[in-house]
């Protein structure tokens, strides 16, 4: 569920008014997955909330492209509250992980992957929206940014509904299983939504192939 610019602006105002720190978990949605380095920057760009900033941002996973690494950014005036010895970490500052993170940043820049996230991510979202228009009785909603997209199916769809049976998988898992059989990697998000998190170097042809497989699965339903 992408936040709106208005929501982020009012959340910042609320935290400032109450003396609360505003922390953003960007482990999955950060590091260019939305089309910007951080998803909140993509959301507020060109809006009345432009310039929005949280007090701290947590990051991990995609920083190292598969090599375990985590980190966080903290804005002034809180940047010096935690220092070495005050915040325990087993692998803090490890040179191998940091070298991997630098290599990932080099690859993103040299291969033009931010532009690819925007272009192919937009292609995927448009394709999913076309499937929603074609099969409105199955697909309820399409949402997301860049290469973090969700497709929600209606409750009660024949062949997907678990009818409350605890022995059956929820519709999202059943749909994921059918997509996996077609070679489309995805994961459930809740009971009725499938989440797509493709690699940043996904090609337009691969996106079309995935959309074709999704169409086959949805039409069969």
Domain residue spans of the chain = 5-110, 113-220
Give the pLDDT score at 81: 87
Question: Which of 121, 157, 116, 130 has the alpha carbon at shortest distance from 215?
Answer: 130
Mean pLDDT across the chain: 93
What's the chain's length in residues? 221
Give the pLDDT score at 87: 73
Q: Do 61 and 28 contact (CB within 8 A), yes or no?
A: yes
Give the pLDDT score at 89: 72
- 166 falls in which pLDDT band (50, 70, 90)? low
- Output b/e per residue, 104-143; b: 16+ Cβ within 10 A: beeebeeeebbebbbebbeebbebbeebbeeeeebbeebe
More confident residue, 89 or 32: 32
Whether residue 171 is predicted with pLDDT greater than 80 in this model: the reply is yes
Whether residue 163 is predicted with pLDDT greater than 70 in this model: the reply is no
Sequence-ordered list of residues with C-beta below 8 angstroms from that of 14, at least 6 positions apart, any chain: 20
Whether residue 11 is predicted with pLDDT greater than 90 in this model: the reply is yes
The share of the chain scoring above pLDDT 90, in percent, equals: 79
Which tokens go with 86? 């005050």
Q: What is the mean pLDDT of residues 112-132?
A: 98
- 84 falls in which pLDDT band (50, 70, 90)? confident
Question: What are the residue ranges of helices labelled H in the chain?
Answer: 5-18, 39-44, 95-110, 113-134, 171-181, 204-220
| Sign of the CA dihedral with 81 first, then 52, 27, and 33 last | negative
- Output b/e per residue, 156-171; b: 16+ Cβ within 10 A: ebeebbbeeeeeeebb
Whether residue 212 is predicted with pLDDT greater than 80 in this model: the reply is yes
Q: What is the mean pLDDT of residues 132-149?
A: 97
Which tokens go with 15? 């935290």
Q: What is the CATH number of domain 113-220?
A: 3.90.1150.10
Which tokens go with 31? 């590091």
Whether residue 164 is predicted with pLDDT greater than 60 in this model: the reply is no
Assign a CATH topology to domain 5-110: 3.40.640
Whether residue 162 is predicted with pLDDT greater than 70 in this model: the reply is no
């Amino acid at each position: 569920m992408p936040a709106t610019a208005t929501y982020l602006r009012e959340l910042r105002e609320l935290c400032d008014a109450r003396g609360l720190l505003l922390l953003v978990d960007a482990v999955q949605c950060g590091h260019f997955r939305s089309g910007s380095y951080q998803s909140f920057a993509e959301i507020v760009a060109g809006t009345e909330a432009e310039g929005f900033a949280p007090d701290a941002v947590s990051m991990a996973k995609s920083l190292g492209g598969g090599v375990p690494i985590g980190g966080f950014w903290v804005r002034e005036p809180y940047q010096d509250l935690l220092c070495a010895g005050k915040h325990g970490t087993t692998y803090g500052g490890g040179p191998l992980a940091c070298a991997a993170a630098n290599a990932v940043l080099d690859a993103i820049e040299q291969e033009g992957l931010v532009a690819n996230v925007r272009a192919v991510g937009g292609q995927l979202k448009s394709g999913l929206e076309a499937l929603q228009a074609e099969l409105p009785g199955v697909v309820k909603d399409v949402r997301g940014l860049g290469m973090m997209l969700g497709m929600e199916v209606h409750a009660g769809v024949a062949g997907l509904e678990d009818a409350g049976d605890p022995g059956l998988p929820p519709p999202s898992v059943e749909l994921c299983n059918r997509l996996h059989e077609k070679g489309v990697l995805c994961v459930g998000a809740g009971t009725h939504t499938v989440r797509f998190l493709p690699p940043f170097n996904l090609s337009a042809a691969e996106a079309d192939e995935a959309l074709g497989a999704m169409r086959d699965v949805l039409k069969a339903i």
